[in-house]
A and B are shown apart, each in its own frame.
Chain A
Amino acid sequence: MSKLGIPTVKIAKARGAAEKIAGDIQLHIDRRTTVSVERAVLRLYGVDGATDEGAPLVNVVVDQVLHSGRLGLGISYWLANGISCYQLSPQELAENIAAGKIDLVKTPIQDEGAIREEIDKLAKDGLAKITAKRAEREELLARLAQGTEPLLYVIVATGNIYEDVIQAQSAARQGADIVAVIRTTGQSLLDFVPYGATTEGFGGTYATQENFRIMRQGLDEVGEEMGKYIRLTNYASGLCMPEIAAMGAMERLDVMLNDAMYGIIFRDINMQRTFVDQYFSRMINGFAGIIINTGEDNYLTTADAFEAAHTVTASQFINEQLAVKSGMKRSQVALGHAFELNPELENSFVYELAQALLARELFPEAPLKYMPPTKYMTGNIFQGHVQDCLFNVASVMTGQSLHLLGMMTEAIHTPHIADRYLALENAAYVFRAMKDLAGEITFKEDGMIHQRANQVLDNAIALLEEVAELGLMEAISKGMFADISRSSGGGKGLAGVVFKEPGYYNPFMEAMKEGR
């Protein structure tokens, strides 16, 4: 039963509008592919490594076909044709292409049936790799304990992956359930994924397959020591969403940041590109049993959290519907929101409660990701610790799932080891002390909390209906999200979007759609 007095008809109305929005975008997605989608396919086929100049082989191969104007058929076709012709492995073929010895598009076309057979064989191996990792996770979860919700989620961000492992293991021993490795600033705009271990990043490390592997191993070690599975998070965002999702699937990440609109709005990545990329990346995440975190909290760092609350709710509905279209289960979609109201605002905590509970009621199956205060953190660590404490209270009172721990040193530096300890201690105390409080409380009918939640939902419905009418791309270009306007032809990465030719084939997409 609703604790907020929200009529189900209202929720259906919001979801219906979001479904229409996602459906319209799907028409755009279905007709296109991107360089990053095709590179992800190559990664799943096992193409790995980079040239001496540092260009990943997957980029070299895809760019060759792109520049010949034939990527619209899908990289699988050209790769499988090359394999049939030269009898090489995907890796050997890629190395020959990088050496300038083979041009895929100029390779004599082999028998269509043989090509198709080759593709399906390659894809079967790729899918098996992901399935094996998923099974490995299920086995570990069955054997080891795991945290209870709200799961305590911390970040590590030393810029050195080996140092990150030390910090992550320490956090796990202090009670952290999920560790996110912060990505170095700037990776989102790289149209390739770097290789190797990062030892000197700025405020984070690169999302590389090697870094994923190193941290996975570190968390597995501490997990065995403690008899508890520690989840690993990284970022499938930016210009390489599908590729990073593929890497995450192969290295058994558990959670990935993956927002359908974040790159467009906050990183000025071209929207035509991102909508196609997010679709395939979520498909991979879904198939790999990975939970995705969406980025609605970011709306509140630019816009005012009180006035813009409904944009968070609207975006949650859109992210949910787009994820469902990618074949994700609702229980894999950790919709985001945040505790970002101005502490100077009277009753700010009351409104935070209303908003957090609204998200919980609108998306009952979603493992909601709740973000701590950042915007109004000042460097006064003592006040900051109190703000984080209230955030912890709001989380346990509203049944949040992934609880990103607030650091009292937010706005000063990336967390020191003791900051994480103090934050974990704070949250553990609040969650223990207030464990069953929520079940004891009902909110006054037509009181402030009911009114606020209903108002936010009404505004979200109005926004969703307007967006559904205009189309999502047009709405974004009008600046309807976060007051930031992006045009469909602007931003970075449009050159990497290609219309599919008749006969386009992506075996992973087909298999994942069917959940094979």
Chain B
Amino acid sequence: MQVDLTRIKPYGDTLNDGAVQLSFTLPVEHSVEAVEAARQLAGKMGFLEPQVTYSKSIGTGFSFFVVYGKANQTVDFTGIKVEKVAVMVMEKKEVEYFIKENFSRPVNVVGACIESDAHTVGIDAIMNMKGFNGHKGLESYKGINAYNLGSQVSCEELVARAMEVKADAILVSQVVTQKDIHVQNLTKLIEIMEAEGIRDEVVLVVGGPRIDHQLAQELGYDAGFGPGTYAEHVASYIVQELKQRGGLR
């Protein structure tokens, strides 16, 4: 099977068949007309040979559809570029050794869910002793003083605490992203840090299920971590970035 990397498309059971499955709801009563509308809609989305394989009324005025179609577009895989956090991921022990070798004092890390966000599952997974899924959190790292401020911490409070403990890095978690509330919150934090003159004195990291490095950089953060991130990823990045900046202040 010879894949043309300059023109890739979805694979179902035959190369370049373009097979795609999707499901959606239309705000109309279920009827044969509704099914035809769903089929035509998939066609307008650009799918070839759209087929409604299942449809059902889901309450007055709504119909649900499962649709298959074939993608009519391709992508040049050889031309893809994605902003990634440039870091060599180390194990916990290696991070601890790295700190001992490179810095004369422990690294201070402050973390919080800021503003209205009350969901600590992400920041806890990275910072708390137990970590997540068998990956111990930053609190357990020798050479790291980890301060997890928890949920609904105002940007002002986070900045004040960071200055108080002389933070080398700040970790911000944003789980709630409805109506782009996270963008507002993250922008506010940057503005306050710049006003306080500490933006360039810390490594500023954001994480969350809908966060990626590109978004983080666009918002003025040093790095962004998305799903599947464990404490060692964040720790590796922080210590290497700090070293690159010439060590701890």
A6 → chain B closest CB, angstroms: 28
Within 8 A of B (CB), among A260-296: 266-268
Bound CA–CA A244/B67 (angstroms): 45
Task: Write out the residue numbers on chain B whose beta carbons fall within 8 Å of the beta carbon of A348.
Answer: none
Additional A-B contact list (17), CB under 8 Å, known A268-B150, A374-B121: A159-B178, A170-B61, A170-B62, A174-B58, A185-B119, A185-B176, A186-B118, A186-B152, A188-B152, A202-B179, A266-B118, A302-B120, A344-B133, A411-B227, A417-B25, A418-B24, A418-B58
Bound CA–CA A416/B24 (angstroms): 10
Bound CA–CA A302/B152 (angstroms): 16
Query: Is B25 touching A418 in the complex (CB atoms < 8 A)?
Result: yes
Task: Write out the residue numbers on chain A whose beta carbons fall within 8 Å of the beta carbon of B51.
Answer: none
**When each residue 179-210 of chain A gets 1 if its CB lies under 8 Å from chain B and 0 otherwise, what string results?**
00000111011000000000010110000000
Given contacts A302-B124, A303-B130, whether A159 and B179 have CB atoms under 8 Å apart is yes
Task: Write out the residue numbers on chain A whose beta carbons fall within 8 Å of the beta carbon of B120.
Answer: 266, 301-302
Within 8 A of A (CB), among B99-121: 115-121
Q: Does A2 contact B (CB under 8 A)?
A: no
Query: Is A169 touching B178 in the complex (CB atoms < 8 A)?
Result: no
Task: Write out the residue numbers on chain B whose beta carbons fall within 8 Å of the beta carbon of A483.
Answer: 128-130
Query: Is B128 touching A169 in the complex (CB atoms < 8 A)?
Result: no
- B209's partner among A172, A342, A411 (CB-CB below 8 A) is A411
Question: Top 4 A-B pairs ranked by shortest CB distance?
Answer: A170-B59, A186-B116, A173-B59, A421-B58
Q: Which residue of B lies closest to A376 (CB)?
A: B133
Bound CA–CA A375/B133 (angstroms): 10
Q: Does A378 contact B (CB under 8 A)?
A: yes
Q: Count A interface residues, CB 8 Å.
A: 38
Q: Which residue of A lies closest to B116 (CB)?
A: A186
Q: Which residue of A lies closest to B118 (CB)?
A: A185
Q: Does B6 contact A (CB under 8 A)?
A: no
Bound CA–CA A184/B178 (angstroms): 10
Query: Is B209 touching A379 in the complex (CB atoms < 8 A)?
Result: yes
Bound CA–CA A185/B181 (angstroms): 11
Q: Which residue of B lies closest to A412 (CB)?
A: B209
Query: Is A267 touching B58 in the complex (CB atoms < 8 A)?
Result: no
A-B contact pairs, 21 of them (CB 8 A): A169-B60, A173-B60, A174-B58, A174-B59, A185-B118, A189-B152, A200-B179, A203-B181, A266-B118, A267-B118, A267-B151, A303-B130, A342-B133, A374-B121, A375-B121, A378-B227, A379-B209, A411-B227, A413-B178, A421-B64, A484-B150
Given contacts A302-B128, A421-B64, whether A188 and B178 have CB atoms under 8 Å apart is no
Q: Does B53 contact A (CB under 8 A)?
A: no
Bound CA–CA A483/B152 (angstroms): 18
A73 → chain B closest CB, angstroms: 34
A155 → chain B closest CB, angstroms: 13
Bound CA–CA A414/B176 (angstroms): 10
A232 → chain B closest CB, angstroms: 18
Interface residues in chain B, defined as those with a beta carbon under 8 Å from any beta carbon in chain A: 23-25, 56, 58-62, 64, 115-121, 124, 128-130, 133, 150-152, 176, 178-179, 181, 209, 227
Query: Is B59 touching A171 in the complex (CB atoms < 8 A)?
Result: yes
Bound CA–CA A416/B59 (angstroms): 13
Query: Is B118 touching A188 in the complex (CB atoms < 8 A)?
Result: yes
Task: Write out the residue numbers on chain A whose beta carbons fall within 8 Å of the beta carbon of B152.
Answer: 185-186, 188-189, 267
Interface residues in chain A, defined as those with a beta carbon under 8 Å from any beta carbon in chain B: 159, 169-174, 184-186, 188-189, 200, 202-203, 266-268, 301-304, 342, 344, 374-375, 378-379, 411-414, 416-418, 421, 483-484
Query: Is B176 touching A170 in the complex (CB atoms < 8 A)?
Result: no
Task: Write out the residue numbers on chain A whose beta carbons fall within 8 Å of the beta carbon of B25.
Answer: 416-418
Task: Write out the residue numbers on chain B whose beta carbons fall within 8 Å of the beta carbon of A173.
Answer: 59-60
Bound CA–CA A202/B24 (angstroms): 23
Most buried by A among B23, B116, B120: B116
A226 → chain B closest CB, angstroms: 11
Task: Write out the residue numbers on chain A whose beta carbons fall within 8 Å of the beta carbon of B59.
Answer: 169-174, 417, 421
Q: Which residue of B lies closest to A344 (CB)?
A: B133
Task: Write out the residue numbers on chain A whose beta carbons fall within 8 Å of the beta carbon of B133.
Answer: 342, 344
Most buried by B among A184, A202, A374: A202
B212 → chain A closest CB, angstroms: 13
B112 → chain A closest CB, angstroms: 12
Bound CA–CA A169/B61 (angstroms): 11
Task: Write out the residue numbers on chain B whose beta carbons fall within 8 Å of the beta carbon of A200.
Answer: 179
Bound CA–CA A418/B23 (angstroms): 9
- A302's partner among B23, B121, B181, B209 (CB-CB below 8 A) is B121
Q: Which residue of B lies closest to A492 (CB)?
A: B152
Task: Write out the residue numbers on chain B whose beta carbons fall within 8 Å of the beta carbon of A411.
Answer: 209, 227
Bound CA–CA A375/B125 (angstroms): 10
Given contacts A379-B209, A411-B209, A417-B25, whether A202 and B58 have CB atoms under 8 Å apart is no
Bound CA–CA A375/B119 (angstroms): 11
Query: Is B121 touching A301 in the complex (CB atoms < 8 A)?
Result: yes
Q: Which residue of A lies closest to B185 (CB)?
A: A202
Bound CA–CA A172/B124 (angstroms): 36
Bound CA–CA A189/B56 (angstroms): 42
Q: Which residue of A lies closest to B60 (CB)?
A: A173
Query: Is A418 touching B64 in the complex (CB atoms < 8 A)?
Result: yes
A461 → chain B closest CB, angstroms: 23
Task: Write out the residue numbers on chain B whose beta carbons fall within 8 Å of the beta carbon of A202.
Answer: 116, 176, 178-179, 181
Q: Which residue of A lies closest to B184 (CB)?
A: A202
Task: Write out the residue numbers on chain A whose beta carbons fall within 8 Å of the beta carbon of B119.
Answer: 185
Bound CA–CA A200/B180 (angstroms): 12
A75 → chain B closest CB, angstroms: 29
Task: Write out the residue numbers on chain A whose beta carbons fall within 8 Å of the beta carbon of B128.
Answer: 302, 483
